[in-house]
Amino acid sequence: MTEAATTLSPAPRARVQAMKEYHPPLGCRDALRLDFNENTFACSPKVREALGRVSAGSLTRYPEREPIEAIIAAHLGVAAQQVALTNGVDEAIHVLFGAFLEAGDELLLPVPTYTMYEVYVSATDARAVTVQAADDLKFPYERLLAAITPRTKIIAIANPNSPSGSIATREQLLEIARRAPHAVLLVDEAYFHFHGETVMDLVGVVPNLMVARTFSKAYGLAGLRLGLLAGPVELMRWVRRVLSPYSVNSLALACLPAALDDATYLDWYVDEVIAARAEFESALDEAEVPRWFSRANFILVEIGPQHTEFVRLMKAAGVLVRDRSGDPGCDGRVRITIGTREQMAKAIVALNESMATLRAGKGAR
């Protein structure tokens, strides 16, 4: 390419130029994936059947999401106009930020938290204001309240939070919404099923509250990319203006009613994870690996300076876990997704072996 051609190459916004590309780690054959907080087992068999019923003809047509939005709204106990299905919660975050954040606005975030909030704010002209959790990684409630300014436009709180597992109580969330009436409070309930507490019932009651849910975790549909955003009609209509009408594909829409119908499967999986979480916590305690409290389908553990080697040893033992050392306040910490009890029994063997190797000083330095 000539120099002139290089100079003429269209430049993206400066904010985008400053961003790093995000390449999620890839899986490897036969490894147990405990690095993405997905359902580690399967979706409901009813979803598989629904997939099988999708006709080739139906794939020729653009998907119609409104009838399915009415079904999910009834399931959640909100009005159809209060909910929008999205291409995963990621799209909900992207679209919400795009609809509300202007130059000079602030996105308020307790950190560490879900990485994509900072990615999507970078696609706007607003800036992120972060509130660092203390070393116990508990939800920094008081400091978050103190960080609210007239410029705060969105406050995003994952509840439970990833990677820390920390929890904001309903009272705390209500108080935050009350103290920032000029801002949207987004409560991201991606891990709701493992925690069991929600503020979905306050949608439309608290005028600035929006709630996101995903089908990627407990429901086991991460590959279909399906999430939702719920909020008061007055806020949802702005979101709908910028939401693609076809971003949720026909396969996802065909599967959603079947997923909702199979409460037995969902309950089984959630109970299984909660039982496995307790067993894994005991194993961590026995192995003297410090851990953070979690009400989600993952646990953050303290490995220390040998975190990279720990992740490598776990991988060599067939278990993928996620090094969170790059997250603010998380140096030396690794996040481990909780799967079924059988899967976690394998993870416990890998954990014990890896820790023994590290403690014997046999790991690479």
Give residues in contact with ligand PLP (CB under 6 A).
37, 88-90, 114, 158, 162, 188, 190, 214, 216, 222, 227
Report residue 40 as tokens: 């580690």
Which one, 37 or 122, has the nearer CB to ligand PLP? 37
Helix (H) or strand (E) holding 321: strand 319-323
Q: Within 10 Å of residue 188's Cβ, how many Cβ atoms?
A: 27
**Measured from the CB of residue 94, what is the shortest distance to ligand PLP in angstroms?**
10
Q: Are strands 152-158 and 127-132 parallel, antiparallel or unpaired?
A: unpaired
**Measured from the CB of residue 112, what is the shortest distance to ligand PLP in angstroms?**
11
Which one, 88 or 110, has the nearer CB to ligand PLP? 88
Which one, 188 or 272, has the nearer CB to ligand PLP? 188
**Measured from the CB of residue 93, what is the shortest distance to ligand PLP in angstroms?**
7
289 close to 307: Cβ distance less than 8 angstroms: no
**Measured from the CB of residue 26, what is the shortest distance to ligand PLP in angstroms?**
16
Which one, 157 or 317, has the nearer CB to ligand PLP? 157
Which one, 208 or 247, has the nearer CB to ligand PLP? 247
Sign (positive or negative) of CA dihedral 142, 147, 153, 154? negative
Residue of this chain nearest to ligand PLP (CB atom): 88
- CA 231 – CA 83 distance, rounded (Å): 7
- CA 68 – CA 252 distance, rounded (Å): 10
Closest to 177 measured CA to CA, from 120, 108, 102, 98:
108
Which one, 216 or 340, has the nearer CB to ligand PLP? 216
Closest to 65 measured CA to CA, from 227, 269, 293:
227
Which one, 133 or 355, has the nearer CB to ligand PLP? 133
**Measured from the CB of residue 330, what is the shortest distance to ligand PLP in angstroms?**
14
Longest dimension (CA), the chain: 64
Which one, 110 or 227, has the nearer CB to ligand PLP? 227
**Measured from the CB of residue 312, what is the shortest distance to ligand PLP in angstroms?**
23
The residue type of 232 is: P
**Measured from the CB of residue 72, what is the shortest distance to ligand PLP in angstroms?**
14
- CA 187 – CA 157 distance, rounded (Å): 5
The helix/strand/coil state of 71 is helix
The helix/strand/coil state of 224 is helix
Q: Are strands 127-132 and 184-188 parallel, antiparallel or unpaired?
A: unpaired
Report residue 49 as tokens: 């059947």
Q: What are phi and psi of 267, to 5 degrees?
A: -60, -40
**Measured from the CB of residue 216, what is the shortest distance to ligand PLP in angstroms?**
3
